[in-house]
Amino acid sequence: MVHDNQNIGLTPSNQPVIIPPSGGEMLQAEGISCQFKITSDISNDQLGIYLITLQPNTTGARLHVHKFTDEVFIVLKGTLTVQSSDIVYDAEEGTVIQVPRLTPHAFCNNSATETKILLVFNSEQKRENFFRELFRAIQTETLDTPAFKDVNNRYDTFSITDTKQNEHE
């Protein structure tokens, strides 16, 4: 067996890709961070895996759907509150939640402690570009603008705007 820690993250496409704990682009904004682990470039647009950290009382995403993307939440630390339509669930550490495409959902950290999750998208659709634009909008306080709605729609994220929206907040 050959050990090659010098080439971690730089393997050919027919080899495993190893991302160390500190590896991957990191985005940060108020109360939330997103670290890219497996990106569309690595997976040939098939899969995206992101390490999300939510500080206490922080919204991860408002109620929305994806038309072409399935989403999986894996709670690594803390408690993640997930809303799907009219159901609100507090997911503890170790919980896995699979959200099929076309299923309304939202998530947040309503607790008093930090929450960490792995967020998995299939198919990927270059979601890291969405996250870059999302974090830029958070920092410039332009989330509720028509321009950001266009960003959402471009990356298969469609807001739900009925009266029951975002009851978890």
31 within 8 A of 81, measured Cβ to Cβ: no
* pLDDT tens track for 32-64: 999 999 998 888 888 999 999 999 999 999 999
pLDDT in the model for residue 67: 93
The full set of domains in the chain, from first to last, is 20-141 (2.60.120.10)
27 Cβ contact partners less than 8 Å away, ≥ 6 residues apart: 33, 34, 35, 131, 132, 135
Q: What is the mean pLDDT of the chain?
A: 86
**Residue 141 class from Cβ within 10 Å (0-12 exposed, 13-18 middle, 19+ buried)?**
exposed
Alpha helices in the chain (DSSP H): 40-43, 127-139, 146-154
**Which pLDDT band, with edges at 50, 70 and 90, does 164 fall under?**
very low
pLDDT in the model for residue 123: 74
pLDDT in the model for residue 144: 77
Q: For residue 79, what are the β-bridge partners?
A: 92
88 within 8 A of 168, measured Cβ to Cβ: yes
Report the range out of 15-19, 31-35, 138-142, 161-165 with the highest average pLDDT.
31-35
User: Looking at 2-16, 46-60, 94-108, which range is the least confident one?
Assistant: 2-16
CA separation, residue 16 to residues 7, 38, 42, 46, 157 (Å): 11, 11, 10, 15, 30
**Which pLDDT band, with edges at 50, 70 and 90, does 146 fall under?**
confident
pLDDT in the model for residue 124: 67
* pLDDT tens track for 67-85: 999 999 999 999 999 999 7
Give the number of other CB atoms < 10 A from CB of residue 48.
26
Report the range out of 94-98, 119-123, 142-146 with the highest average pLDDT.
94-98
pLDDT in the model for residue 46: 86
- Is residue 4's pLDDT more than 60? no
Show the tokens assigned to 131: 């996250």
CA separation, residue 109 to residues 1, 44, 106, 121 (Å): 43, 31, 11, 20
